[in-house]
Chain A
């Protein structure tokens, strides 16, 4: 009865959603790298405007974008505070004991915060607009050249697919096992750390037993359907670079140039 949402994919039919996942993956890598070359606030401004335009085109509610920030809130605050007080500088605003708040500190902390926020919100655009299966395909395609150095691109991709397929099944199963053990008097919510860890055994053992059994059956079923790795394998959906993808590359290039120009200011 429970619906499980995997990842944070936000279905919509925008241009960004339809872009080739490879382009999106490359784009996000470019965006992240570029952020580290920014030296002043005008640069961050450009990046922020670019991000907002992308969000607008992707038709994703802004709220979703900031959700990703919640998980790093602690790190963000920590980094800001550290930078505020630990940056050496001349222009002291005030000093209490060994804590010195300087202009340079404020500047550094601001930069750090801007970078982190842009980094996280930027990468969530990728996960918000790309379904897990597309992401898997993209990763496989991009890893393919690394086969020469024995990176098992296809195996990584099929592992990701099977994991995604089984998360909801196993989650349901865990719910069932927990209820069954509770019905047998298991107490999962009280007691100290060790007692609680121990009370997980009646849930984890059956879950693992079942996961192994599932894996075994799935392997047989895959073999029966002629699976033999990526030997001679074709794909139903072939990723093709289309016009919007080229356009996206051009936009990224312009963005990169702009960002570089801000360094000269």
Chain B
């Protein structure tokens, strides 16, 4: 139903020499589920906008059901056939009531009122949002908003839905909601084109198209695409962790199948079955309990005592956001704070620099109660740097340098001191002199974010709190930001609190994980111990790393593999170790 022929495209503002799409020949049949992968700037989103004629080719042709997108006669028919769902749920809902928003598309098409009513009711039911028909969009969660957006497209009765990173701004449970909806629609015969950075999502598709520098470099079923681990990494894309593990083991000489993408497939692999016969093993007791290498110094960096916070107390909107939280974070520690949306994470971190005040309880920063003296708030905020989610949204100055200087200039420093603060902070995030005079608004997403983080670092905080620092970035951007944070922690010796939805990131970067659920402290332990609670974590809407899931399943077969393993290297080493000891190398 979709066919592109020698498709070239360049944005007029950038000149014809900057082709964003370079000669694409893609054809997609009715009912297919296609995932499109590629790092930022690979041309994925541009392709999506071509498919429903929001943009038209500078050279070549696209046919949608045999109709040329360049011909204006078919414009509305093509847009009706090819529904589009965008990344930011807030910026695509038009009306103030859910059902009115779903009606927006059919209304534009001139569908008769009775028929619109019918379609609205039907589609809201399809996406499971019928109970919210009369709600206001701003009171919904991200996942719910995206489902309303999907309903709005569905009500136009499209043949195909193109989704441009629909889950990038959602938490794990929102992501599940949206993916389940998409998969169900595909079963009902709707063609799905899913643009994504998440490999776990691409695995669900029938076909994966990988784009790089405006060209299609891989186009095959997921198994075939992901088996080319090195090629994918060459395009700065990752593969699912289990696939990566299988690849590593294969390279170490084990004869594993080359198309393993899920935990189930790994477990059912013949070689794995043969290598890990069920037996009780003396290794069972050897669990690599990590010791927390912190000696208790005199004053902890942060001490929270019986902290509770209630929003709008004694009103109809009263909400208990935090209940009786007590914890201690030592100087130089790096901890992860985890919980799903609404668990109280954001409320908690805003107490640590006095943006919110406890309803009851106390917060001590380096031994000082931050509520005791209001005049000290300024110095507390300098000591505790807080980087909010999507911090690039707070940039405002005309140049990178001036923006980073905003914080230090409020600290009664001499101009020379401000200058060193700014330069060091920018150097720490890897932005050199050539960026000083650039406007922050012309940088890439990842660079903007680094400027914003530098803006906080320039105040030389002793404690750095980052709320989802990698959210919405592509895999390459994620890795860069996270490794820089790790680097900062190690070289500058600052205490770091990393707030995240991602268990993978938490496990990779920290030695201690704090889990919040419904405003209460649920776990505070090493990653190994926390991931050992797989079922509990999943029941409160959190995901555990794919490797942990695999380790737990393998542990059922062979107890030598304990469920507290969460890193790929560790699991690979353990398997190879076992295989070597058992002398079972095939």
The 8 A CB mask of A169-182 against B (1 = contact, 0 = none) is: 10011001101111
With beta carbons under 8 angstroms apart, the residue of A1, A165, A236 that contacts B107 is: A236
Residues of A within 8 A of B406 (CB): 181, 184-186, 202
Contacts of A145 in B (CB 8 A): none
Given contacts A224-B79, A232-B110, contact A3 B92 (CB under 8 A): no
Q: Is B280 in contact with chain A by the CB < 8 A criterion?
A: no
- Asked if A155 is at the interface (CB within 8 A of a chain B CB), the reply is no
- Any A CB within 8 A of the CB of B376: no
Chain A residue contacts of B386, Cβ below 8 A: 180, 183
Q: With a CB–CB cut-off of 8 A, which chain B residues contact A227?
A: 104, 108
Distance (whole angstroms) from the CB of A255 to the closest CB of chain B: 32
Question: Which residues of A are found within 8 Å of B97, using beta-carbon distances?
Answer: 133
Pair B317/A3 contact, Cβ less than 8 Å: yes
Q: Determine if A110 is an interface residue (Cβ-Cβ < 8 Å).
A: no
Contact B105 A226 (CB under 8 A): yes
Residue of B nearest to A221 (CB): B92
| B96, A221: Cβ atoms closer than 8 Å | no
Asked if A222 is an interface residue, CB under 8 A from chain B, the answer is: yes
A185 contact set on B, CB distance < 8 A: 378, 381-382, 406-407, 410-411, 459
**Least Cβ–Cβ distance between B227 and chain A, in angstroms:** 35
Tell me the dominant secondary structure on chain A's binding face: helix
Is A205 on the interface with B (CB-CB < 8 A)?
yes
Does B388 contact A179, Cβ atoms closer than 8 Å?
Answer: yes
Of B111-119, B359-367, B487-495, the one with at least 4 CB within 8 A of chain A: B111-119
* Max count, chain A CB within 10 A of own CB: residue among B105, B386, B396, B441: B396
Q: Across the two chains, which residue of chain A brings its CB closest to B105?
A: A225
Judging by beta carbons under 8 Å apart, are A234 and B110 in contact? yes
Q: Decide if A165 touches B137 in the complex (CB within 8 Å).
A: yes
Interface size counted on chain A using CB atoms at 8 A = 50
Interface residues of A in 206-221 (CB under 8 A from B): 206, 209-210, 213-214, 217-218, 220-221
Instruction: Flag if A164 contacts B394 (CB, 8 Å).
Output: no
- B112: chain A residues within 8 A (beta carbon): 234
Chain A residue numbers with a CB within 8 Å of B105 are: 225-226
**Chain B proximity mask over A24-60: 1 for CB below 8 Å, otherwise 0:** 0000000000000000000000000000000000000
Question: Contacts of A177 on B, CB cut-off 8 Å?
Answer: 393-394
Does the CB pair A181–B108 fall under 8 Å? no
> By CB atoms of chain B within 10 A, which of A202, A209, A218, A226 has the most?
A226
Contacts of B92 in A (CB 8 A): 217-218, 221
**A181 near B95: Cβ-Cβ < 8 Å:** no
Collect the chain B residues with CB atoms within 8 Å of residue A132's CB: 96
CA distance A132 to B95 in the complex (A): 11
Q: Mark A224-255, 1 if CB is under 8 A from B, else 0.
A: 11111000111111100000000000000000
B145 CB, nearest partner CB in chain A, Å: 11
Given contacts A183-B386, A206-B396, contact A236 B91 (CB under 8 A): no
Contact with A along B281-325 (1 / 0, CB 8 A): 000000000000000000000000000000100000101010000
Of A205, A228, A234, which one neighbours B396 at CB under 8 angstroms? A205
Stretch from B80-88, B209-217, B229-237, B253-261 forming part of the interface with A: B80-88
Q: Are B388 and A225 in contact (CB under 8 A)?
A: no
- Cβ–Cβ contact A165 & B396, under 8 A: no
In Å, the complex CA distance between A183 and B107 comes to: 45
A107 to B100, CA, bound (A): 51
B358 within 8 A of A: no
* CB proximity of A77 to chain B, nearest CB, Å: 32
A-B contact pairs, 15 of them (CB 8 A): A1-B311, A165-B138, A169-B90, A180-B391, A184-B455, A202-B394, A206-B394, A209-B396, A225-B108, A225-B152, A226-B76, A227-B104, A234-B107, A236-B99, A237-B113
19 additional contacts, CB 8 Å, given A181-B406, A185-B382? A1-B347, A132-B96, A133-B97, A162-B94, A165-B137, A172-B138, A183-B381, A184-B406, A184-B410, A210-B393, A221-B91, A221-B94, A226-B108, A227-B108, A234-B116, A235-B103, A235-B107, A236-B113, A236-B116
Which 6 A/B pairs are nearest by Cβ-Cβ distance? A185-B410, A221-B92, A205-B396, A217-B91, A236-B103, A168-B138
